[in-house]
Structure 1
């Protein structure tokens, strides 16, 4: 059972939303359509400050913006791995993968598998798949 969501009326600063604003938007994304957000908004929100919220939203099967949250998880993972974990802590990503392997559905377990594959074989990185939503629109296990 989800806690009742508060009404979402917009972001105070869309390039730096709070976790509460992102959560409220994700449950009412039509209030501020994704196409009206700043360019590369997905890249802006896919950082350490909001990754816990994005993971929570991706785990919520009833969240209308769940696919967006999953897309941001792919961006976060790729950014961490491709920078040899200078951009994001390896421990945090590892804990996210382990959490998803235990509690996630098939879409999230595919994400966890793909993260492990990218760690082992960084040459599997494809910008379209990891940063433009290819692996979200066409889920598949990398091999």
Structure 2
């Protein structure tokens, strides 16, 4: 068991987990099921503090919580774009999209495509798709 898959010991503060706690949980998500987390936990963890960890988890095809991480990437991107990059830096989002376009699999390339579509056409935003997991449960490329 590698460092990324250390035994999950729980969260010191579930509304503000550390990157190490989130990484350990993602490899043992049944230890604390999502439905027992604080309300809107996905929204709470989808910020700048954990986005690098979430990207790492989303890129890991073996991660049991990978779909959750991709869901958080959708939340992060939508939050950045819909606030005109007041919530999150445009440069960081652009680098994430480029990284995924180069190194990601189909699921993540769909995310990158959808982010580019939302950048070009913000009216394509649908809360259920971007913030409630619709685009993760039913992956599809948005079209103009």
**Which contiguous aligned blocks of 4+ residues in structure 1 show a shift greater than 2 angstroms?**
none
* Alignment coverage as a number of residue pairs: 142
Query: What is the CA deviation profile of residues 16-46 of structure 1, one whole-angstrom value per residue up to 9, with x for unaligned ones?
Result: 0000000000000011111000000000000
TM-score (norm 2): 0.97
Cα 1:58/1:4, change in 2 over 3 Å = closer
Hey, what's the Cα distance between the residues in 2 that align with 1:58 and 1:98? 14
Q: Which residue in the other structure is 2:139 paired with?
A: 139
1:66-88 CA-to-partner distances (Å, cap 9, x unmatched) read 00000000000000000000000
Aligned to 1:70: 70
TM-score (norm 1): 0.98
Aligned residue number for residue 24 of structure 1: 24
> 5+ residue gaps in structure 2?
none
Is 2:97 aligned against 1:97?
yes
Displacement of 1:5: 1.5
Quote the RMSD (CA, aligned, Å).
Answer: 0.9
Q: Which ranges in structure 1 are unaligned for 5 or more consecutive residues?
A: none
> C-alpha deviations, 1:69-124, integer Å up to 9, x for none?
00000000000000000000000000000000000000000000000000000000
- Alignment partners' CA distance in 1, 2:4 and 2:116: 35
